[in-house]
Structure formats: C-alpha cells, structure tokens
C-alpha cells in the first residue's frame, strides 16, 4: 500500500510543487508507482504535469464536494505518474467544505480509495494553513517541509509545526515529520551556508535531509516545458537531491 507524503510550508515559493513533481519523477524512474495530488487552486502541479488546468472539466473539486470517485478523474502523465488534477475551482471547495460532514477528512477518504494501486502518493499543498492543508496533513503519513535557503523563509516554519502538532493530537496521531528539505541553496554565498546552520540550530529536534536542492534556472525551465528537471539536461545541479531522496524513501519503505 502507498506511503502518503505531503509537501507543506505556508510560505509561498519555497519549492513545494517543484519538489512534489520531481521527487515523483525520481520515484517513477526507480519503478515506483506514483500518484500526484494537486491540492492547490493555483494548479501549478497540474500544469507542471503536462495539462492545462482550466481545460479540465472534472477535478479534485468534484471529488471533494460532490463525492465523484477519484479513480474517475485520475489522469496519466507522459512521464508515467498519475495525477489527481486541480484547477481554480478548488478555491471554492474551501468555502463549500465548511458545511460538509467530516470536512477535515475529505482528502483522507479520497486517498484511501486509491492508495492500494500505488507505492507513493505525493500531496502538493497550497501556501496557507487553511482547510485544504489541514486535510492534506490529516491524510498523510509523513510531511516533508521544503525550506528555501533564505532567512525570511524560516519565519513561518514554527507556525506549521504548531499546526502539525494539533493535527497529531486531533486528527492523525501517526503523522510524522520526515524532515526539512533545504531548497534553492546557493553554495557560493555565505548566506546559504548560514541558513543551513540556523536550520540545524533552531530545529535541532527535526531531521534535516543531508542533501540540498541547489538553486538552478533549470527548475523554472522544466516547469515551463512541463517536464521533470532530469529531462532538461544530464547534470542539473540540485536535481540529484530528488534522486537521493527517492532512493532513501524507497529503502525506508522496504524496511517497514
Ligand atoms: N531549486 C530551485 N532553484 C531555482 N528555482 C527554483 C528551485 N525550485 C523551484 N524553483 C522555482 O521557484 C518558483 C517557486 O517554486 P514552486 O512553485 O515549486 O514553489 P511552491 O512552494 O510550490 O510555491 P507556492 O507556495 O506558490 O505553491 C518556481 O518558479 C520554480 O520554478
Ligand atoms: Mg506550489
């Protein structure tokens, strides 16, 4: 059965979507069956995965609010992963879900309905701690927190940790924090190295993944091309971290 990971950080632009898609591609490359789930009305993941979000009629929105079975809306991407797509309609779901029963567990139900068919389910959350992110945390086994190696990006991390503690207490007692994933790291600047040290000092209770996703323009180019970064050129600095992360996650899963 699939292990479910969510990429979460309410700070925008820290690499949640980029990490979801490229980790998925790296897992797929080592023969894992991967489902990507787009939980952000911005639908960047849906676009990255090769689709035009606004031309998709039935998305996660209908699964959440009208009980459409997820298997009816899953799309196959060109690189072999599956995708539960989103589009702007998902922003309405936040309001509509307020009156639905078990509103914090809607994503859990959706994921549970399909997880048998996959090895990994990767949830991409939006940059807020609203009901969709709460749903994602309730549905996940583990959270990966991407933190971009800039000082301001560290400020929100404590608030996310508080929400995770709350979710553990009330909704999902087995939720674990897999670790902090440093993104957009620039090894040439002192600032990047300082941020890594601050992460080690301030979050000594959390696992800091031992590889950093280096800053590279190839990531932006790959999202424009709607292709995994590995397909942009043979050696992309930073992309290797996703391959290492994929291998580690598979090893850990096999040991369970
Ligand atoms: N390692 C990297 N180096 C350089 N640019 C990157 C890197 N990772 C992501 N980017 C770029 O930074 C921008 C933000 O990345 P991304 O969309 O993955 O962040 P996000 O956390 O999902 O954002 P949001 O909070 O808006 O959903 C994108 O333009 C992306 O191409
Ligand atoms: Mg995103």
Query: What CATH number does residue 132 fall under?
Result: 3.40.50.300
CB 61 within 8 A of CB 132: no
Tens-digit pLDDT string for the chain (256 aa): 999 999 999 999 999 999 999 999 999 999 999 999 999 999 999 999 999 999 999 999 999 999 999 999 999 999 999 999 999 999 998 889 888 888 999 999 999 999 999 999 999 999 999 999 999 999 999 999 999 988 777 877 888 999 999 999 999 999 999 999 999 999 888 988 899 999 999 999 999 999 999 999 999 999 999 999 999 877 888 899 999 999 999 999 999 8
pLDDT of amino acid 237: 80
Determine the Cα–Cα distance for residues 215 and 102; give it in Å rounded to an integer: 40
pLDDT of amino acid 241: 95
pLDDT of amino acid 211: 92
Secondary structure string (H, E, C) spanning 58-79: CCHHHHHHHCCCHHHCCEECCC
pLDDT of amino acid 107: 97
Task: Say yes or no: CB of residue 212 within 6 Å of ligand 1.
Answer: no
Task: Say yes or no: CB of residue 82 within 6 Å of ligand 1.
Answer: no
In the reported structure, the alpha carbon of residue 44 is separated from the centroid of ligand 1 by a whole-number distance in angstroms of 10
Atom index in ligand 1 nearest the CA of residue 20 equals: 18
Alpha-carbon distances, residue 65 vs 87, 133, 135, 138 (angstroms): 14, 16, 13, 17
CB 103 within 8 A of CB 133: no
Task: Say yes or no: CB of residue 219 within 6 Å of ligand 1.
Answer: yes
Alpha-carbon distances, residue 60 vs 37, 57, 74, 164 (angstroms): 8, 10, 9, 23
Task: Say yes or no: CB of residue 86 within 6 Å of ligand 1.
Answer: no
- DSSP letter (8 states) at residue 49: T
pTM: 0.97
* Atom 8 of ligand 1, residue of closest alpha carbon: 15
pLDDT of amino acid 232: 87
Atom index in ligand 1 nearest the CA of residue 217 equals: 4
pLDDT of amino acid 28: 97
**How many domains, the chain?**
1
In the reported structure, the alpha carbon of residue 255 is separated from the centroid of ligand 2 by a whole-number distance in angstroms of 31
Task: Say yes or no: CB of residue 44 within 6 Å of ligand 1.
Answer: yes
Q: Whole domain around residue 151: which residue ranges?
A: 3-255
pLDDT of amino acid 173: 97
pLDDT of amino acid 168: 97
Starting from the CA of residue 38, give the closest ligand: 2
Give ∠ CA 60-213-82 in degrees, rounded to 5.
Answer: 25
């Amino acid at each position: 059965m699939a292990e479910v990971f969510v990429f979460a950080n309410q700070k925008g632009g820290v690499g949640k979507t980029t990490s979801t898609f490229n980790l998925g591609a790296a897992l797929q490359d080592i023969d894992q069956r991967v489902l990507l789930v787009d939980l952000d009305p911005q639908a960047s993941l849906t676009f990255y995965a090769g689709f035009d979000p606004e031309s998709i009629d039935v998305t996660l929105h209908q699964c959440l609010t009208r009980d459409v079975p997820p298997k009816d809306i899953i799309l196959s991407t060109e690189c072999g992963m599956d995708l539960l797509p989103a589009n702007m309609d998902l922003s309405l779901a936040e309001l509509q879900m307020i009156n639905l029963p078990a509103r914090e567990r809607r994503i859990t139900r959706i994921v549970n309905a399909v997880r048998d068919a996959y090895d990994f389910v990767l949830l991409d959350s939006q940059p807020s701690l609203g009901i969709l992110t709460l749903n994602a945390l309730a549905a996940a086994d583990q959270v990966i927190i991407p933190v971009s190696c800039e000082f301001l990006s560290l400020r929100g991390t404590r608030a996310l940790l508080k929400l995770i503690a709350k979710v553990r207490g009330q909704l999902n007692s087995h939720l674990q924090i897999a670790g902090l994933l440093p993104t957009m790291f620039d090894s040439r600047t002192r600032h990047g190295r300082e941020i890594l040290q601050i992460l080690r000092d301030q979050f000594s209770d959390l696992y800091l993944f031992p590889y950093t996703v280096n800053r590279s323009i190839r990531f932006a180019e790959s999202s424009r091309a709607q292709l995994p970064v590995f397909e942009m050129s043979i050696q992309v600095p930073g992309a290797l971290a996703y391959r290492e992360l994929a291998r580690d996650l598979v090893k850990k899963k096999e040991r369970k």
